[in-house]
């Protein structure tokens, strides 16, 4: 069976093609992370929602007009990567550009499930074309099943949303970390992602060009993918020397992404849209890393968050952070 969906977007064909193929555009409406080799025979890997990764191979690429790629899900016994076909055509029309998707090679059950998914994301595609950003994806906010990796992807999605809205005026604004303004915190985050990727055996370097959001997203996606490949068994090199359990090393990703997302949001006057379920999971991951009531490494002593504190406020107080004073 097949599923077809079409939408008219108020953008040019080239802009519409970019929205469906470029990682920085895909993250604004359909994916948490996206790795793309846009050529016939090139591979792609999209984390659509935390814990759900679509992957396959591009079969045909006509820039500005058409793209055909294999579709399936990592870890799926019923629809593995490259076992169905998605064709997206882009054509000029009155009012902008018509984008038409045809998804073929599905069973009736798969077609029904993908119809729900494509409908959800085409609604977000229409919004991003009109407004520039579709906003946080409710499907990514509270993953069905949280583990070390889906938690890292969920918190990365939160961080990316904040980084996307930073301006040049925010560069020198103070964050809750007294030694970091936003620029220094970004440099710290680059180093942290490089270090945590190295624990899993990956060599991740900081891209020289692109937005802050794009550079962090590309680095973090590689780090998470490396950890998914390595797994959580055994020991890994610790940042200060020696070793630590792999489970603790992988936990650092969620903690870094969420806490530094809060830091950037505080500095720039943004809200941090994160679900209580994700915060609770990260809090549990933080317990072995930040012992309560003790300063350790980069973390100050725990702060009393108050009786009415939200789960997020309790987590940041646990890490020794105070909100930025306006």
Least confident of 25-29, 84-88, 299-303: 299-303
pLDDT over 70, % of the chain: 97
Q: Both tokens of residue 205?
A: 């370097």
Handedness of CA 275, 23, 59, 95 (dihedral sign): positive
Q: What is the pLDDT of residue 12?
A: 97
Sheet of 43-49, strand order: 2-9, 96-104, 84-93, 66-71, 52-62, 43-49, 33-36
Please tell me the predicted confidence (pLDDT) of residue 325: 62
pLDDT at 183 over 60: yes
pLDDT value for 299: 72
Helix residue ranges per DSSP H, 174-323: 182-199, 212-230, 246-268, 276-286, 311-318
Q: Is the CB of residue 58 less than 8 Å from the CB of residue 68?
A: yes
Position 291 pLDDT exceeds 70: no
Compute the distance between CA of residue 270 and CA of residue 161 in angstroms, rounded to an integer.
10
The per-residue pLDDT of the chain, averaged, comes to: 94
How many angstroms separate the Cα of 215 from the Cα of each of 110, 218, 322?
35, 5, 28
Residue 326 has pLDDT above 60, yes or no: no
Pairing of strands 235-237, 96-104: unpaired
Spatial separation of the C-alpha atoms in residues 246 and 154, rounded to whole Å: 20
Q: Which residue has the tokens 């895909």?
A: 26
Q: Look-up: residue for tokens 């809090």?
A: 283
Average pLDDT over residues 301-325: 87
Please name the residues in contact with 222: beta carbons below 8 A apart, sequence gap of 6 or more: 35, 197, 202, 204
How does residue 298 score in pLDDT terms, banded at 50, 70 and 90?
low
CA atoms of 316 and 124, how far apart (whole Å): 31
Reply yes or no on whether the pLDDT at 189 is more than 60: yes
Give the pLDDT score at 285. Answer: 95
Average pLDDT for 180-195: 97
**Domain architecture of the chain: domains with CATH:** 2-131 (3.30.530.20), 142-318 (1.20.120.450)
Q: Is the pLDDT of residue 297 over 60?
A: no
Confidence band of 296 (pLDDT split at 50, 70, 90): very low
Q: Span 94-110, mean pLDDT?
A: 96
Mark residue 105 as left, alpha or beta (left: phi above 0; alpha: psi -120 to 50; beta: remaining): left
């Amino acid at each position: 069976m097949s599923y077809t969906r079409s939408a008219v977007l108020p953008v040019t064909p080239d802009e519409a093609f970019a929205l469906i193929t470029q990682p920085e555009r895909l993250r604004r409406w359909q994916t948490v992370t996206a790795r793309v080799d846009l050529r016939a025979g090139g591979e792609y890997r999209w984390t659509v929602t935390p814990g759900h990764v679509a992957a396959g191979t591009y079969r045909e690429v006509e820039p500005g007009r058409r793209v055909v790629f294999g579709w399936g899900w990592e870890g799926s016994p019923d629809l593995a990567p490259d076992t169905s076909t998605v064709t997206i055509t882009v054509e000029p029309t009155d009012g902008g550009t018509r984008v038409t998707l045809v998804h073929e090679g599905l069973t009736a059950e798969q077609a029904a499930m993908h119809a729900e998914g494509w409908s959800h994301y085409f609604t977000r595609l229409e919004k991003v074309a009109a407004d520039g950003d579709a906003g946080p994806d409710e499907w990514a906010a509270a993953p069905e099943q949280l583990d070390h990796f889906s938690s890292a992807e969920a918190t990365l999605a939160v961080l990316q949303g904040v980084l996307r809205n930073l301006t040049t005026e925010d560069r020198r604004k103070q964050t809750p970390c007294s030694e970091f303004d936003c620029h220094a915190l970004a440099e710290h985050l680059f180093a942290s992602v490089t270090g945590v990727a190295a624990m899993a055996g990956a060599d991740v370097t900081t891209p020289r060009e692109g937005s802050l959001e794009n550079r962090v997203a590309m680095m973090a996606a590689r780090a998470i993918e490396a950890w998914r490949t390595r797994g959580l068994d055994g020991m890994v090199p610790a940042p200060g020397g020696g070793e630590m359990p792999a489970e603790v090393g992988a936990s650092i990703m969620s903690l870094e992404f969420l806490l530094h997302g809060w830091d950037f949001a505080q500095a720039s006057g943004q809200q941090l849209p994160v679900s209580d379920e994700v915060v609770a999971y990260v809090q549990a991951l933080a317990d072995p890393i930040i012992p309560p009531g003790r300063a350790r490494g980069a973390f100050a002593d725990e702060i009393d968050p108050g009786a009415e504190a939200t789960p997020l406020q309790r987590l940041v107080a646990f890490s020794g952070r105070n909100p930025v004073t306006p």
